[in-house]
Structure 1
Amino acid sequence: MAASRPELVGDLGAVSSTSWLASGAAMAVLENGGNAFDAAVAGGFVLQVVEPHSNGPGGDVAIVARRAGDDGASVICGQGPMPMSADLSGFTELGLRQIPGSGLLPATVPGAIGAWLRLLAEFGRLRLETVVEAAIGYATRGYPVLPDTSRAIKALAPLFAGEWRTSGETYLTGGVAPAAGDRLTNPDLAAVLRRLVDEAKAGSTDRETQIDNARRAFYEGFVAEAIDAFVGSTPVLDSTGRRHRGLLTGQDLATWRATVEPSARIDYRGLTVHKPGAWSQGPVFLQQLALLEGFDLRALDPGGAEYVHTVTEAAKLAFADREAWYGDPAFHHDVSLRTLLSPEYTAARRQEMGHDANPSPEPGRLPGALAALPAVSADPAPRWDEDWMDQLQSGMPTIVLKATLEPSDTCALVVADRQGNLVAAVPSGGWLKSSPVIPGLGFPLGTRGQTMWLVEGHPNSVAAGKRPRTTLSPTLVCRDGDPYLAFGTPGGDRQDQWTLETFLSVVEFGRDLQTATETVHFHTDHFPSSFTPRGSRPGFLAIEAAIGAQTVTGLRGRGHDVDVVPEWSMGGKVCIVGAGRDGFVRAGAGPRGRQAYAYCR
């Protein structure tokens, strides 16, 4: 296959993200003496400004970082927990079967800012004021509105004008949604970022003290106070068709810290692959690799039915385990990734992969534990005629378009530098569709709480102070202890299928990074969605038309319910960087969505 553009190669640094503005800001930091972690923080703050339909300061982020010379990789968890007043009975007493996908009830502690600041403090070397300069500039002077942003604001404009008025003040111009390419500013968010810098510098010249001052200003100071006042006193219309106050308090923010923890990891074909733990869906990537290592993938045609079938069946088994076993490890110590990734467990699961599609994949068995697969029906849709209420029924951030494949969500940002530092981040949450903008702050809260179950006994059941099992799933790969690859993509539940296809294109078939991002995408939606209303399509396999009619026929002959979609129409915007033994760094950016952009110097 021929790539649409070249793989980028340099020796100073490599950046790829879902926004050319964020990639440019990150590269500027590298050019001005920052390392990969400084650059990632700069790009992350820009993403919060220029991709408001996908993420914001009220959202969350998962980060995998590898400092030059370190043996392993570290995970910075920016997934905030549920409020301390959240419990199962509180939701069920409202007559709910699922936590709503919009409004204030699903709001968790906003973890993104804390995680970016932790990355900067412990891994970076620049000051806060330097890395947030670009984000302040775009919020102040404006940025060109992306087509997806314009589409989302236009669809929700009546809601913003009539109910979520603070969102209307932030995203509408003269009461009208901006068109793609229009300049949009966010003066309230610019003021918040400036005040964080001012409070960071107050009373200290020490870099790390200043970063902690900014953290306290956000989580214990003026930002937390504004969130507390709004959430506790303002009933907000949500996807139930009713108005509810939220549960999140200033105290919930004050007691939370972003954690740094060891990565979940596995060896594959001589490489070490690092992911976030079971509070994310990241381990499904590792479980798929463990299953696939038992097959000679290189002997298969990557565009053929046997290859697509094998990868898909591995995904179905891994995601079945996700549904049964994944959840916040701080609450469920009996859920062992060591067992799920063990050779013995994997070999037994591999025996379930046959010539034909498995119509009903089940989770595997863990010693002393019973698999729980919640079967919870959706709440009845409220009787509202407005299209925006239909949009709120989907907890995903993007606007659902009839008769088209649902577009992707979320952001991605990856950076490599010449010192051997490597970082991958997937920010999300706090998107403009999630909840109303908090007065004076310029951003809404996230709704990640919707991914938790309203049932007893599941690892991802709702509980006070518990992290929802997120879909955010960055990946970092080392080769013989040296930095090799970092990548991520938008895509919700599909992230660890689309990035797996990219990874295998590099490792098994020798493609360069750019070509690998352009490999034919396919995915199964057999398992329940992580987002309200938790739809699923058993047996369904979506694949891009470039795969060819012969492969489609072969897949259908194996029992897959194949839906052929237009070329490059799936939502994955895979962002990837790499470091080579030749001293060069490399980058690629997937062409889907015409938005992701890579730089190399």
Structure 2
Amino acid sequence: MRKLFSLATAFLFSLSLFAQQTQKPPLHGKQWMAITGKPLAATAGSMIFQKGGNAVDAACAMLGATCTMWDVLSWGGETQALIYNPKTGKVIGINALGVAPTGATAEFYKSKGYNFPPEYGPLAAVTPGTVGGLCLMLANYGSMSLKEVLAPSMQLASGYPIDAQTANSMERGKQRIKEWPYSKKVFLPHPGEKREAPEAGEIFVQKDLLETLSKMVEAEQDALKKGKSRKEAIMAAYDRFYKGDIAKEFVRGCQEQGGLITMNDLANWKPIEEEPMHVNYKGIEVYKLQQWTQGPMLLQSLNILENFDLKNMGYNSTRYIHTLYQTMNMTFADRDFYYGDPAFPPSEPMQGLLSKAYAKQRARMISMERNMTNVGPGDPYPFEGKTNPFVDVLKKRGYSLDTTSTQNRNFAPAHDVRNEAVAAIDEAYMERLWAGTTSVEAADAEGWVVSITPSGGWLPATIAGNTGVGMSQRGQSFVLDASLNPFNVIETGKRPRVTLTPTMALKDGKPFLSFAVQGGDTQDQNLLQFFLNIVEFGMTVQEACEAANINTNQLWLSLGGSKNEDRQPKPGSLLLHDNTPEWVRKELRQMGYTLSFDDRTSGPINAIWFDWKHKSFWGGSSNHGEDYGISW
């Protein structure tokens, strides 16, 4: 293989990219900033800010609006959030992910012929989490009433001009939607016509959802009249959703359509406030949610990459792309085997996985000459003074824990693909890889910062009875085979390991970046590169949002597919941007990569950068999709 192109060439290539004007202008604000996946939802955040709300209030309003607008999620989905509290200087994690319902066991799904819980329908559902997460955030850290914060959502539910993306999604999914009577009633208002879904710009009305939201506000207002505090009143609304008449109708509608969720499942579920995990990368503290998300994969990646001189490699040079790809493959292998719900045994080896010493070991294992097609999970247990209890499982799957050589390691995934050519990346696979959601970013002059990656209940969704609430499909992220991941086997009351992963970074004890992205298994891939684009390559936040990223497919998919073959890694499969120079393409092919290309590879990412020199905010929002921000 010829010598990698020179650093000077890489540097000039980088400069030519950075010199280009961004396709969207950066946002600038002094008082507040609101960014999310839909323009109308960003407007909802701005309405709350203009009424005196803080960033938590505004984030909750945007969350509600995106759910109401079906921005690849609904009110029955799940919410994952990080909040910076300026009063304490701490970052808080919000775990509002639902759990597997009563009767949802590996044996149950296997008896129905499944290799994974299904992608769609009532049997894909975990308990709804977003309502509880919103109420918890608002009650503990907001300043306004639920009535005020839900006002934009209720206006949208009473009728809003639907966008083409959502309306066309309803039309494309109408055959599946017709399987569920309550979904059909909401999403297909023109039965029997050629187009049964709404048209773009048509006023889309959701009477049942409006009634559900009205009942929650009614419960809050009744509690206030009885002398309850703001927080107690918000939690009265919470109780009506999870224990009252809303819950009864949700459960009735779920079970009528074949679902498993019970009243006890709803009543016993609780959102959790948790301490996030974090690592220090060159003086910057980076925070992610715990191992029930894929978030620690980004932290592991930073620990490994800290051992390389990325800046001198050059942005998107061959050596940089290769190092990044190999690092992500290692951390995805760890994610795929070791992550799960920390509330259930066995205990995940997170201390070892996030140790700097383990990262150094993993970094030394990277071959700089070729793609390691058979990379597998490492052994973090010695780095927390323990012995790996799953050595036999790993051996049966063909993995070796030998760390002495970078060459010819016997790291073979289940269903050995060591000698198999990388399959063509088909459309169904890419849909599973990129399965979207939305993101919410908010910040205010008082210092509150919020980053949320909500999801679940996406189209085509099964609506639970006459609630207007779409049920989550997150159950599909569990596994049924313990040899794939002994920490993530479905059990009643357990949370699946999800892809949803907001991020926050502090520098000198103050907010530095708040960022999130949609896109299934690509989320932390894009967030990692966004962070490095700013920290290593000096991009502005909007440049970093638009910059060309890479994606690896050498991982186990977290969503979709009915067979192991649908989800298993595609070794060497690498997505690059269309503008990647021919010499980089040639060198990567010589290193064993199979390349594919796209004109948008960055996200879409939404982010806020904190300019402490000028005491202002910089906002970045993706240059594709419908993501949008407003600031003042």
Alignment TM-score, normalising by the size of structure 1: 0.90
Match of 2:584 in 1: 551
| Candidates 432, 444, 450, aligned match of 2:476 | 450
Give 1:281's aligned residue. 294
**Residue 490 (1) aligns with residue 521 (2):** no
After the TM superposition, which of the residue ranges 183-192 and 276-285 deviates more from structure 2? Answer: 183-192
Larger displacement relative to structure 2 (547-556 or 251-260): 547-556
Aligned partner of 2:335 in structure 1 is: 322
In structure 2, what is the equivalent of residue 27 of structure 1? 46
Matched ranges for 1:426-505 at <5 A:
426-434=453-461, 436-456=462-482, 458-505=486-533
Letter in 1 for 2:467: L
Which residue does the alignment assign to 1:391? none
Task: Structure 2: give runs of 5+ residues left out of the alignment.
Answer: 1-17, 382-386, 398-412, 416-425
Name the counterpart of 2:168: 151
- 1:125 Cα offset (Å): 0.8
Task: Measure the CA separation in 1 of the matches of 2:184 and 2:104.
Answer: 29
Q: Aligned match of 1:291 in 301, 304, 311?
A: 304
Task: State yes or no: 1:86 paired with 2:104.
Answer: yes
Secondary structure of the residue aligned to 1:599 is strand
1:519 correspondence with 2:567: no
Kindly state the Cα deviation for residue 343 of structure 1 after the two structures are TM-superposed. 1.5
Task: Confirm whether residue 62 of structure 1 aligns to residue 80 of structure 2.
Answer: yes
- For these two proteins, the number of residue pairs brought into alignment is 563
Deviations 1:371-396 (A, max 9, x none): 6578788xxxxxxxxxxxxxxxxxxx
Q: Give the drift of 1:571.
A: 7.2
Pick closer, same or farther for the CA change 1:301–1:181 going to 2, 3 Å.
farther
| Greater Rg by CA | 2
Q: Does 1:581 align with 2:585?
A: no
Q: Which moved more, 1:39-48 or 1:453-462?
A: 453-462
Aligned to 1:600: 631
Deviation sequence 1:86-125 (CA, Å, 0-9, x none): 2222222223222111111121111111011111011111
Instruction: Extract unaligned runs of 5+ from structure 1.
Output: 235-244, 378-398
Q: Give secondary structure in 2 for the equivalent of 1:41.
A: helix
Tell me the equivalent position of 1:169: 185
Aligned residue type for 2:318: A
User: Does residue 47 in structure 1 map to residue 66 in structure 2?
Assistant: yes
**Does the CA-based 8 Å contact 1:400-1:407 persist in structure 2?**
no
Rounded to whole Å, the distance in 2 between the matches of 1:439 and 1:4 is 43
Amino acid across the alignment from 2:624: R
* Residue matched to 1:259: 272
Please list, as runs of the form range in 1=range in 2, the aligned pairs for 1:175-194 lying within 5 A after superposition: 175=191, 176-194=196-214
CA distance in 2, matches of 1:72, 1:403: 37
Tell me the equivalent position of 1:125.
143
Mapped to 2, the partners of 1:284 and 1:330 lie a distance apart of: 19
Identify which range, 534-543 or 302-311, moves more after superposition.
534-543
In the alignment, the residues of structure 2 paired with residue 552 and residue 301 of structure 1 have an alpha-carbon distance, to the nearest angstrom, of 15
- Check whether the contact 1:410–1:426 (CA below 8 A) recurs between aligned residues: yes
1: CA distance, partners of 2:88 / 2:367: 40
Quote the offset at 1:167 in angstroms.
1.3
TM-aligned CA deviation for residue 6 of structure 1: 2.2
8 Å contact 1:416–1:579 — kept in the other structure? no
Which residue is equivalent to 1:383? none
Where 1:428 maps in the other structure, the secondary structure is coil
1-side partners of 2:199 and 2:187: how far apart?
Answer: 11
**Residues of 2 paired with 1:562 and 1:184: CA distance?**
42
Partner of 1:202: 222
From the superposition, tell whether residues 344 and 215 of structure 1 become closer, same or farther in structure 2 (CA, over 3 Å): same
**Residue of structure 2 aligned with 1:211, choices 234, 245, 262:** 234
1:184-214 deviation digits (Å, cap 9, x = unpaired): 2212111111111011111325211111011
In structure 2, the CA distance between the partners of 1:272 and 1:469, relative to structure 1 (3 Å rule), is same
Partner residue in 2 for 1:388? none
Distance 2:300 2:489 in 1: 22
1: distance between equivalents of 2:366 and 2:623? 32
What do the CA deviations read for 1:129-151 (whole angstroms, capped 9, x no partner)? Answer: 0111001111102232242x223
User: Counterpart of 2:212 in 1: which secondary structure?
Assistant: helix
2:160–2:205 contact (8 Å) kept in structure 1: yes
Judged with a 3 Å threshold, the aligned counterparts in structure 2 of structure 1 residues 109 and 190 are, in CA distance, closer, same or farther, namely same
SS in 1 for 2:361: helix
The TM-score, its normalising length taken from structure 2, stands at: 0.86
Query: Which one of 594, 597, 604 corresponds to residue 561 of structure 1?
Result: 594
**Residue equivalent to 1:223:** 246
d(CA) in 2 for partners of 1:401, 1:338: 36
**How big is the shift at 1:53?**
5.4
- Structure 1 position 254, deviation (Å): 0.4
State the secondary structure of the residue aligned to 1:203.
helix
SS for the counterpart of 1:511 is: coil
1:541 — aligned with what? Answer: 574
CA contact 2:433–2:559 (8 Å) conserved in 1: no
| Segments of 4+ moved more than 6 angstroms | 373-377, 401-406
Secondary structure of the equivalent of 2:465?
A: coil
Task: Kindly report which structure 2 residues correspond to 1:380-395, keeping only aligned pairs within 5 A, or say none.
Answer: none
Check whether the contact 1:48–1:55 (CA below 8 A) recurs between aligned residues.
Answer: yes
> Quick check: 1:227–1:249 contact (8 Å CA) kept in 2?
no
CA distance in 1 between counterparts of 2:244 and 2:164 reads 33
Alignment correspondent of 1:395? none
Give the structure 1 partner of residue 450 of structure 2: 423
The secondary structure found in structure 1 opposite 2:153 is: helix
Distance 1:82 1:466, change over 3 A: same
Change (3 A) 1:501 1:40: same
Matched, 1:13 2:32: yes
Instruction: Report the equivalent of 2:436.
Output: 409
CA distance in 2, matches of 1:325, 1:408: 22
Asked if the contact 1:82–1:466 (Cα under 8 Å) also holds between the matched residues in 2, the reply is yes
Give the 3 Å change call, closer, same or farther, for CA 418–403 of structure 1 in structure 2.
Answer: closer
State how far apart, in whole Å, the 1-side matches of 2:304 and 2:414 are: 29
CA 81–251 in structure 1, closer or farther in 2 if over 3 Å, else same = same
> 1:591: which partner in 2?
623
Residue 406 to residue 107, structure 1, CA distance change in 2 (3 Å): closer
Partners of 1:362 and 1:456 lie apart in 2 by 16
Partners of 2:348 and 2:429 lie apart in 1 by: 39
Q: Which amino acid aligns with 1:348?
A: Q
- In 2, Cα distance between equivalents of 1:36 and 1:474: 16
Contact 2:512 2:610 (8 Å CA) reproduced: yes
Deviation at 1:406, TM superposition (A): 7.2
Distance 1:293 1:406 in 2: 27
Cα deviations across residues 391-446 of structure 1 (Å, max 9, x unaligned)? xxxxxxxx967999976410101111111111100010011224x21221112211
Q: What displacement does 1:182 show?
A: 3.0
Q: What is the letter of the counterpart of residue 282 of structure 2?
A: R
Identity of aligned residues (%): 28
Post-superposition Cα deviations, 1:7-34, rounded to whole Å, max 9, x if no partner, equal 2111101122111111111122122211
